[in-house]
């Protein structure tokens, strides 16, 4: 990782300080794999899969190579394929949409609410058509989606639900962890996520043994028996090294999430009268603050002001999927999605993560409070 330039006083994210803290444990885990000679589909993967499934309250966990693959293979395992339409949020990371295409189906965007940034059940209900096969709710920024109304809709219309939990490690919905609440849940262990590997990684958790078995086959060339290929699969495995490192980091997830939670509370108190729209947590939710996203029509000016004060910020996301060149020429590109367009202009992610010290956060807060649009 490149060091931030000296004028950055508060980095958006600081993986290095996170890894320094766990250096000895991570090194020991890596050496264990080096000495074992098992580098793929071995005991570390099984151990991590079982641990992760238990943490998120699902009977089965299957490690794959990335979050994108977890979404793609998860959809395929639920029977989504060519000719199907899958409803996706208009406001999300593009991978949610890409996975639908990789599964052979068509993503159909449903606009989110500007206020919450996530789906309203009524909008989803109105978008269900004869070809709709599945819903992909996204627990964006670490706040769980209100799943019960969506599960009700899915049951009435015989749709599969796969939730994208790439930003929601440890989040709970009505007291139950995200990860065992739908037909399948897709996870990413990209390094910057709340639980991140030292490279790419992902997983599918599910309570359905057949879905788990299908993902196991799909990730391994469509094979569960050596040299027998029952279907057209992929090569998408979570390797032993990443699995071993993830087991180390998993032991610190609650503590890291607690740090994020404390930082979110501090932001909330200190910025209550700042004129920004602040994120709110529903009373039925525990959010894990993957990102702390504020909203203002003066976003670009605020971002420049913060940069001038040495505060690094990011935008999640500046271009909505339907405006991406990759989707030019598809029906989605012509969709009317005003909330997604507006959020792309107004959202700003403040520094957030287990690395963020109070004195750094005070710098962010002072800089935000000194902003005059």
Ligand X SMILES: *Cc1c(COP(=O)(O)O)cnc(C)c1O
Q: Which residues bind ligand X (CB under 6 A)?
A: 66-68, 92-93, 95-96, 138, 164, 166-167, 188, 190, 200, 202
SS3 363: helix
Question: 């639908």: which residue's tokens?
Answer: 100
**Cβ nearer to ligand X, comparing 29 with 118:** 118
Closest C-alpha among 294, 270, 281, 307 to residue 348: 294
Instruction: Tell me if 297 sits within 8 A of 279, measured CB to CB.
Output: no
**Cβ nearer to ligand X, comparing 18 with 68:** 68
**CA–CA distances in Å: residue 362 to residues 22, 63, 241, 271, 280:** 26, 39, 37, 11, 21
Q: What is the DSSP string of 225-287?
A: BTTB--S---B----HHHHHHHHHHHTTHHHHHHHHHHHHHHHHHHTTTSSSBPP---TTEE-
**Cβ nearer to ligand X, comparing 8 with 101:** 101
**Cβ nearer to ligand X, comparing 9 with 102:** 102
Tell me which residue has its CB nearest to ligand X: 67
- Least distance CB 244 / ligand X (angstroms): 18
Cα of first residue to Cα of last residue in the chain, in angstroms, is 34
Burial call 306-338: b when 16+ CB within 10 Å, e when fewer: beebbbbbbbbbeebbbbeeebeeeebeebebe
- Least distance CB 303 / ligand X (angstroms): 20
**Cβ nearer to ligand X, comparing 195 with 271:** 195
Angle between helices 358-369 and 299-308 in degrees, nearest 10: 130
**Cβ nearer to ligand X, comparing 66 with 182:** 66
- Least distance CB 32 / ligand X (angstroms): 24
- Least distance CB 364 / ligand X (angstroms): 22
**CA–CA distances in Å: residue 355 to residues 12, 20, 168, 203, 330:** 9, 11, 18, 25, 41
C-alpha–C-alpha distance, residues 108 and 90, integer Å: 9
Instruction: Tell me if 68 sits within 8 A of 222, measured CB to CB.
Output: no
**Cβ nearer to ligand X, comparing 190 with 371:** 190
- Least distance CB 301 / ligand X (angstroms): 27
Structural tokens at position 95: 């991978």
Question: 């910057």: which residue's tokens?
Answer: 192
**Cβ nearer to ligand X, comparing 95 with 153:** 95
| ∠ Cα 342 70 39 (to 5°) | 135
- Least distance CB 285 / ligand X (angstroms): 17
- Least distance CB 93 / ligand X (angstroms): 4
**Cβ nearer to ligand X, comparing 94 with 114:** 94
SS3 300: helix
Closest C-alpha among 206, 207, 189 to residue 198: 189
**Cβ nearer to ligand X, comparing 10 with 73:** 73
- Least distance CB 141 / ligand X (angstroms): 9
- Least distance CB 7 / ligand X (angstroms): 28
Q: Which helix (H) or strand (E) holds 160?
A: strand 160-164
- Least distance CB 193 / ligand X (angstroms): 6
């Amino acid at each position: 990782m490149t060091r931030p330039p000296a004028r950055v006083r508060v980095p958006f994210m600081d993986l290095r300080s996170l890894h320094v803290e766990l250096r000895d444990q991570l090194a020991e885990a890596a050496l264990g794999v080096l000495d074992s000679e098992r580098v793929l589909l071995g005991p570390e993967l099984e151990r991590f899969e079982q641990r992760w499934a238990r943490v998120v309250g699902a009977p089965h966990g299957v490690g794959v190579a990335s979050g994108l693959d977890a979404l793609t293979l998860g959809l395929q395992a639920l029977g989504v394929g060519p000719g199907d339409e899958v409803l996706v949020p208009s406001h999300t990371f593009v991978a949610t949409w890409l996975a639908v295409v990789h599964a052979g189906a068509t993503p159909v965007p449903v606009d989110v609410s500007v206020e919450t940034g996530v789906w309203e059940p009524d909008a989803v209900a109105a978008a269900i058509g004869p070809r709709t096969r599945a819903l992909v709710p996204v627990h964006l920024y670490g706040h769980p989606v209100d799943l019960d109304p969506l599960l009700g809709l899915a049951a009435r219309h015989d749709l599969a639900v796969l939730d994208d939990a790439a930003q929601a490690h440890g989040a709970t919905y009505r007291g139950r962890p995200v990860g065992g609440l739908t037909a399948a849940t897709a996870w990413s262990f990209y390094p910057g996520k709340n639980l991140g590997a030292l490279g790419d990684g992902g997983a599918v958790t599910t309570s359905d043994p057949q879905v788990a078995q299908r993902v196991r086959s799909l990730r391994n060339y469509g094979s569960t028996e050596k040299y027998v290929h029952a279907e057209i699969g992929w090569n998408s495995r979570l390797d032993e090294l990443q699995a071993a490192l993830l087991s180390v980091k998993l032991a610190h997830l609650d503590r890291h999430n607690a740090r994020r939670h404390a930082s979110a509370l501090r932001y909330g108190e200190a910025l209550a009268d700042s004129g920004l729209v602040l994120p709110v947590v529903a009373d039925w939710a525990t959010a894990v603050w993957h990102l702390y996203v504020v909203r203002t029509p003066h976003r670009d000016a605020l971002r420049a002001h913060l940069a001038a004060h040495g505060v690094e910020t990011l935008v999640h996301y500046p271009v909505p999927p339907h405006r991406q060149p990759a989707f030019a020429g598809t029906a989605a590109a012509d969709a009317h999605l005003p909330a997604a367009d507006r959020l792309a202009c107004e959202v700003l992610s403040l520094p957030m993560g287990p690395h963020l010290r109070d004195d750094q956060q005070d710098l962010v807060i002072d800089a935000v409070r000194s902003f005059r649009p």
